[in-house]
Structure 1
Amino acid sequence: MKMLTIALLALTGLVGLATEPALAEKAAITDVTGRRVELDLPAKRVLLGEARQVHVVATLKGDKTFETIVGWRDDLVKKDADTYASYRDRFPDIEKLPRFGYVGNGTFDLEAAIALKPDVLTLNLESVKAAEEASLVEKAEAAGIAVVYLDFRVDPEKNTENSIALLGEIFGAEDRAKELADYRRAQIARVTDRLAAAKPAFPKVFIERSPGISGDVVCCRTFGPVNFGRMVELGGGHNIGSDVITGTFGDLNPEQLVLANPDNVIVTGANWAAESDVNQYVNVGPGADAKAARQRLADLMQRPAFPGLKAVKQGQVHAVWHQFYGNPYDFVAIQQFAKWFHPELFADLDAEETFRDFHQKFLPVSYRTGYFVSLEAGDM
């Protein structure tokens, strides 16, 4: 179905445009691909090529999060429905905000995007190949739209702070962007500095990517040395996926998993009701039902290869909110991993309290628990 029509132009400007943004000046920025991009800053009209970038925009703009956003991809409502609901409750007019498909799979409607007259289109790094094949950048620039690539997923350790800074410039919130980057760095250091001093042995960890979301993937999709794989390492664990996989994602076969026999198993989960074909995923995230999530997690551990694992036998089985993998809130997951892997060393560390503090300092929506769950005695 065509994601957008010209008729939606009438909706443009309905979402939070009461306050006039700062006067724009022509400037040049360098995006995460190394491209030099000229545009007026701060931008007056922004099209988010991934709606989940709102996790960053909200920290920068607070109550004015949607002041200059004229459209966004449809991924937030599909892949992170509970977060979408939180922002819809706080900003009801986002229901009217035009939604687009994904550049990476060819469902992005450039003609409709041009009709919205954005100053800038922000895309994720993994869209580069598809955008090049479609000559999207050239077509957008011909229509007066600057294209800026960001990355919170492919190589977040390399690109997160730069991406935060880029959004800070685009939205005229450079000081706030620095505060966010400094906060994130300090929270990660609470783990890495202590690990460096204590030098504990790192347990073997298998982190499984979104099991139960699709019947096409039974076992064992995981992460290489970046993204969640790197979060595991920063949290004091040895990511067994990194022994085999060199990229962001990849698959282990069940025999490899049994041979590795990890000390900890973690699965990623979220509210994927809008796109799952089997509905066996673990729903964790803002406001999630912990009892229901534990049952789903226990059910997943009944699959072949899992019941005999050391982690399952010893009750070291956990679930983490999948969306930590694509935004700069990764410090929360790193802290929780450290607590799971080294409970005595990090007895005083509370990732939930850290995330609650972050909401109070940075975000326009209230904190709700539910981002983590672990199996308890009697769950298996």
Structure 2
Amino acid sequence: MRVVRRLAAAAFALVAVLTGPAFAGMTKITDVTGREVEVETPVRRVILGEGRQIYFVAALDRDAPFSHVVGWRDDLSKADPETYAAYLAKYPEIAKLPTFGGMKDGSFDVEQAIALKPDVIIMNVDAKAATEEAGYIETLKKVGIPLVYVDFREKPMIHTEPSMRLIGQLLGKEQVAEDFIAFRAKSIAAVTDVLDKEKPARPLVFMERAGGYSDDCCMSFGDENFGRMVELAGGTNMAKTMIPGTFGTVNPEQIIASNPDQVIVTGGNWEGYVPGGAWVGVGYGADDAKARVKLEALTKRPAFTGIKAVKTGQVHAIWHQFYNNPYQFVAIQEMAKWLHPNLFKDLDPDATFKELHARFLPLDYKPGYFVSLTDR
């Protein structure tokens, strides 16, 4: 009888070995587009459809953010060279990671992606149309590679939380994702709760996207992304009624006629894209003095002629990449201080960003993400 029991136990164990992990590891993921995708989790091999997706991967896996990344798009070193350099110094192996071109410009190599045998490919939702047009989802499905969409750019104030939960599921970091989401919500509430209580007058704000990146003026935001962040920070987004989508352009005459109380320009070190450009180089460890000089130079453009914000010095610059990662709450806090300095004199966005790094990120914090002409 004992022999029979031992044989039965052995057979059960064999079945568990053969079928248990594969069955137990399959997770049904719903991405931000509503697509249901089955993925074996936690994933071991991931392709990042954009290098800047390391912003959220690192926040959920600070001990080994690149341990599962087998390929990524080649944008981080140009779009955010200081952050890339910091990661490269700590994780020199990333220099050898296979890189991809972009989906939207048609330079993504699907055959290369298949050869890397990823468990999942993570794409930004703005690449969805190009992905579908190229037939990549069907191609990948035939070889058993799922693709999921996240979003921190098109509708970040709606999609950041579900995107972080999705990544938490993929990485087996569900609790870390919930901790991050709670920290983000608390940091935003530190602004919105005060505004709801005090109900201050809202200054009119012109939010310029990537000021100085080109000679054209002026790119801005509709009622999402930085446009929505301005509203959450207690301002009125000047371009909200002028731009129907997330991104768009307003002409110089509209800015002069609207006469905004404050101007906030997004900036970064774009030497890799526009060498010697007029962009304001804020970001990880940036030189405040140099950034302020370039910010003041932007106020000399015809679009800002005689407007109230320039006359009163209420012109500021903020790190552009807040528009494409889950750290937007830091930007909301900083803008709230610019828009309502008396209400938020005790709020410290730098301390919030330091806490984010200390709790969630593998890099040490370095200031340089904000600059203002009021600091002269």
Instruction: Provide the TM-score with structure 2 as the length reference.
Output: 0.92
- In structure 2, the residue matched to 1:372 is 370
Tell me the equivalent position of 1:115: 115
Structure 1 residue 95 corresponds to structure 2 residue 80: no
Segments ≥4 residues shifted beyond 4 Å: none
Q: Deviation at 1:307? A: 3.4
1:135 aligns with 2:114: no
Quote the Cα distance in structure 1 between the aligned partners of 2:244 and 2:305. 27
2 CA distance for matches of 1:161 and 1:172?
16
Question: Which structure 1 segments of 5+ residues have no match?
Answer: 1-21
1:320 aligned residue: 318
288, 294, 297: which is aligned to 2:295? 297
Residues 83-232 of structure 1 mapped to structure 2, 5 A cutoff: 83-215=83-215, 218-232=216-230
Q: Which moves more between the two structures, 274-283 or 317-326? A: 274-283
Contact 1:214–1:277 (CA under 8 A) maintained in structure 2: no
Query: Residue 185 of structure 1 aligns to a residue in which SS?
Result: helix
Cα-to-partner distance string for 1:88-119 (whole Å, 9 max, x where unaligned): 11111111111111111111011111111101
Cα distance between partner residues in 2 of 1:277 and 1:97: 26
Equivalent position of 1:238 in the other structure: 236
CA distance in 1: counterparts of 2:137 and 2:106, whole angstroms: 14
Within 1, Cα distance between the matches of 2:364 and 2:205? 32
Equivalent position of 2:329 in the other structure: 331
Q: Which has the higher helix share?
A: 2
Please say if residues 156 and 225 of structure 2, whose CA atoms lie closer than 8 Å, have aligned partners that are also in contact.
Answer: yes
1:278 Cα deviation (Å)?
A: 5.3
- What amino acid is aligned across from residue 349 of structure 2 in structure 1? A
Deviation at 1:31, TM superposition (A): 0.4
1:359 Cα deviation after fit: 0.6
Task: Quote the residue 1:352 is aligned against.
Answer: 350
The DSSP-based 3-state class of the residue aligned with 1:364 is coil
Paired amino acid for 2:193:
D
Quote how far apart the aligned CAs of 1:33 are. Answer: 0.6
Q: Summarize deviations over 1:280-319 as a string: whole Å, max 9, x none.
A: 1000001101111011101111111213110000000000
Report if aligned partners of 1:213, 1:281 keep a CA contact under 8 Å in 2: yes
Describe the superposition over 1:30-52 as per-residue Cα deviations: whole angstroms up to 9, x where unpaired. Answer: 10111010110111100000111
Counterpart CA distance in 2 for 1:178 and 1:280 is 40
Match of 1:262 among 257, 260, 266: 260
SS in 1 for 2:148: strand
* TM-score when normalising by structure 1: 0.91
The answer as to whether partners of 2:256 and 2:305 remain within 8 angstroms in 1 is: no
- SS of the equivalent of 1:206 reads strand
Q: What is the alpha-carbon distance in structure 2 between the residues aligned to residue 248 and residue 130 of structure 1?
A: 18
| 1:342 Cα deviation after fit | 0.3
Aligned 8 A contact 2:152 2:326 in 1: yes
Report the 3-state secondary structure (helix = DSSP H, G, I; strand = E; otherwise coil) of the residue aligned with 2:304. Answer: coil
Q: CA deviation at 1:250?
A: 0.8
Q: 1:72 matched to which residue of 2?
A: 72
Residue 277 of structure 1: how far off its partner (Å): 5.3
Query: 1-side partners of 2:121 and 2:347: how far apart?
Result: 39
Question: Residue 210 of structure 1 contacts residue 267 of structure 1 at CA under 8 Å; is this kept in 2?
Answer: yes
Report the CA distance between 1:214 and its aligned residue: 2.4
What residue in structure 2 maps to residue 52 of structure 1?
Answer: 52
1:28 & 1:376 partners in 2: Cα distance? 50
Write the distance in 2 (CA, Å) between the matches of 1:355 and 1:377.
20
The residue that corresponds to 1:31 in the other structure is: 31
Once the two structures are overlaid, the 10-residue window that deviates more, 138-147 or 329-338, is 138-147
1:376 Cα shift?
A: 4.4
RMSD value, Cα: 1.3
Alpha-carbon distance in 2 for matches of 1:373, 1:161: 28
| Rounded Cα–Cα distance in structure 2 between residues aligned with 1:341 and 1:243 | 20
Amino acid at match of 1:367: Y
Q: Distance in 1 between matches of 2:276 and 2:214?
A: 6
Listed as ranges, the gaps of 5+ residues in structure 2 are 1-20
CA displacement at 1:159 relative to structure 2: 0.8
Match of 1:275 in 2: 273
Q: CA deviation at 1:377?
A: 7.1
- Give me the whole-angstrom Cα distance separating, in 2, the residues matched to 1:237 and 1:95: 42
Mapped contact 1:214–1:278 kept (Cα < 8 A):
no
- The aligned residue for residue 361 of structure 1 is 359
Per-residue Cα deviation, 1:101-147 (whole angstroms, up to 9, x for no partner) = 11111110111111111010000000011011100111111122100
Q: Provide Cα deviations, 1:195-242, integer angstroms capped at 9, x if missing partner.
A: 000000100000100021224xx2111000000000000000000010
Whether the 8 Å contact between 2:212 and 2:279 is mirrored in structure 1 is yes
SS in 1 for 2:255: helix
Note the C-alpha offset of 1:64: 1.0
Paired residues in the alignment total 355
| CA distance in structure 2 between the aligned counterparts of 1:236 and 1:318, rounded to whole angstroms | 16
Distance between the aligned counterparts of 1:266 and 1:354, measured in 2?
20
Per-residue CA distance 1:319-345 (angstroms, 9 max, x = gap): 000000011100000000100000000
SS of residue in 2 equivalent to 1:103: coil
Which structure has the bigger radius of gyration? 2
